[in-house]
Amino acid sequence: MKKADLIYADGEHCADMLYATGFRAPDAFIYFKTSSETGMVMSALEHDRAVKEAKPGINIYSNKEFCDRQDAKAVDLVSGLAEKKKIKVFRVPGEFPLKLADELRSRGFTVTPEKQRFFPEREFKNSQEVDNITAALRITENGMRRAHRILETAELNQTGQLVWNAKILTSELLRAEINIELIRGGAMPDATIVACGTQGADPHNTGTGPLESGKPIIIDIFPKVTATGYWGDLTRTFVKGTAPDQVKRAYEAVYAARESAKPLIKAGAVPVEIHNAAKSILDKHGFETGRKNNCNYGFFHGLGHGVGLEIHEAPRLSPASKTPLRGGEVVTVEPGVYYQEWGGIRLEDMVYVEENGCRCLTEIENILEVK
């Protein structure tokens, strides 16, 4: 029986589709690959653009070549494709639409979801992909610099709240200014984090309300570049004014953990061992991990994750990751500590894994106190 790989998704949101075709479209279309051919099946709206923009070597077909009915549905197009190409078995990604899979099975086709990653090679970036990620990171750094400049120019009112342009500087306002900078650079923001004080004790709290002096402000920026689909990722923690001693000590510990982890990242290194080494640095500085009053504290997330066409992808630098790095991965290095009593500290860089070490892609400086 003739077999084919099959994806039915849009190129705007499906990283596998974008990786396979290089074509960004807001509506779902068909990608298939047999032992002898790779092809896309496109609507009239997108056909001509796909011919110009899709990756070389892909045959571009129009919908009507496989079903010329105006009301043709995805199952009709795939069935027509299968009939003409003599395909009986489809291998599909785990995220393949369930309804379409059931409809194809009802017509006699075998549909087999892939249990692992559909394109495992996505984990390993070529030079062009590294350039795309680096470009995304530069835009991200510009967003962080915008945040830093605003904090520099902000003043304090009598209650210690920050004031900027005669307005109370809130998480929402600073996030908007960061996001505008990202959009100017050609990237789309996604849940930018500006979390002040105790809000920072929850790593993914995006932050709300007035920003205050003397309290840590975690800023985590991770936009996707519109033109390429690749992501940047960067976290810094600032304090407007003078940081309390405990916050300074936590900052120094997190910085030491991150910098100590980087030399360990190389081909052949085991992620769990790198994670544990970073955690041991935090423990030695007195920032242990545990659970109290139904809340986690300390360093309770993974050290890092892969970045590419998805913001979180393989590999993971975490306690569960025992497969050695092979080289070619782009990963974040982002230790943090979090305490309900005062907030958190997180510092995140991105690195490219090489044979004998890693190359840091992040250029922006590390600053705690903003005067």
Tell me how far apart the alpha carbons of residues 308 and 74 are, in angstroms, rounded to a whole number: 29
Residues 89-98 have a mean pLDDT of 98
Burial class (CB in 10 A: 0-12, 13-18, 19+), 41: buried
Q: Distance (Å, rounded) from C-alpha 88 to C-alpha 105?
A: 10
Beta bridge partners of 231: 224
pTM equals: 0.95
Sign of the torsion formed by the C-alpha atoms of 230, 139, 234 and 340:
negative
Cα gap 248→140, rounded to integer Å: 25
Residue 62 forms beta bridges with which residues? 42
Whether 2-118 and 123-370 share one fold: the answer is: no
Distance of CA 161 to the CA centre of its chain: 32
What totals of helices (H) and strands (E) does the chain contain, helices first? 8, 24
**Fold (topology level) of 2-118:** Creatine Amidinohydrolase; Chain A, domain 1 (3.40.350)
Q: 294 falls in which pLDDT band (50, 70, 90)?
A: very high
Any idea what the Cα angle at residue 332 is, between residues 329 and 334, rounded to 5°?
155
What's the chain's length in residues?
371
Check if the beta carbon of residue 120 is closer than 8 Å to that of residue 15: no
User: What tokens appear for 5 in the block?
Assistant: 């790989």
In tens, the pLDDT along 124-176 reads: 999 999 999 999 999 999 999 999 999 999 999 999 999 999 999 999 999 99
What does the angle CA 119 – CA 125 – CA 131 come to, to the nearest 5 degrees?
A: 135
Task: Give the CATH architecture of domain 123-370.
Answer: Alpha-Beta Complex (3.90)
pLDDT at 20 over 90: yes
Whole-number percent of the chain with pLDDT over 90: 99
> Mean of the pLDDT values across residues 58-67?
97
Q: Would you kindly state where each structural domain of the chain is located, as residue ranges?
A: 2-118, 123-370
The Cα-based distances of 352 to 138, 176, 220, 268 in angstroms read 15, 30, 20, 14
Q: Give the separation between CA 76 and CA 244, rounded to whole angstroms.
A: 65
In this predicted structure, the answer to whether residue 272 has a pLDDT above a threshold of 90 is yes
At 173, the amino acid letter reads: L
Q: What is the pLDDT of residues 22-34, one digit of tens each?
A: 999 999 999 999 9
Confidence at residue 329, expressed as pLDDT on a 0 to 100 scale = 98
- Going by pLDDT thresholds of 50, 70 and 90, the confidence category of residue 98 is very high
AA letter at 88 = K
Strand ranges (E), 86-233: 87-92, 110-113, 155-156, 162-164, 167-168, 187-188, 193-196, 216-221, 224-225
Task: List, for residues 198-247, the tens digit of each pLDDT value.
Answer: 999 999 999 999 999 999 999 999 999 999 999 999 999 999 999 999 99
Secondary-structure breakdown of the chain: helix, strand, coil percentages, each rounded to the nearest 5:
35, 30, 40
Is the pLDDT score of 314 beyond 90? yes
Q: What's the pLDDT at 1?
A: 80
Q: Show the beta-strand stretches assigned E in 93-141.
A: 110-113
Q: CA 366: distance to chain centroid? A: 21
User: Over the stretch 250-267, which tens digit does the pLDDT of each residue have?
Assistant: 999 999 999 999 999 999
Handedness of CA 357, 358, 364, 370 (dihedral sign): negative
Left if phi > 0, otherwise alpha if psi is -120 to 50, otherwise beta: which for 248?
A: alpha
Q: For residue 148, what is the enclosing H or E element?
A: helix 127-153
Chain centroid to CA 22: how far?
18
pLDDT at residue 90, as a whole number:
98
For residue 336, list its beta bridge partners: 346
State the pairing for strand pair 87-92/110-113: parallel
The whole-chain average pLDDT of the chain stands at: 97
Distance CA 286, CA 298 (A): 10
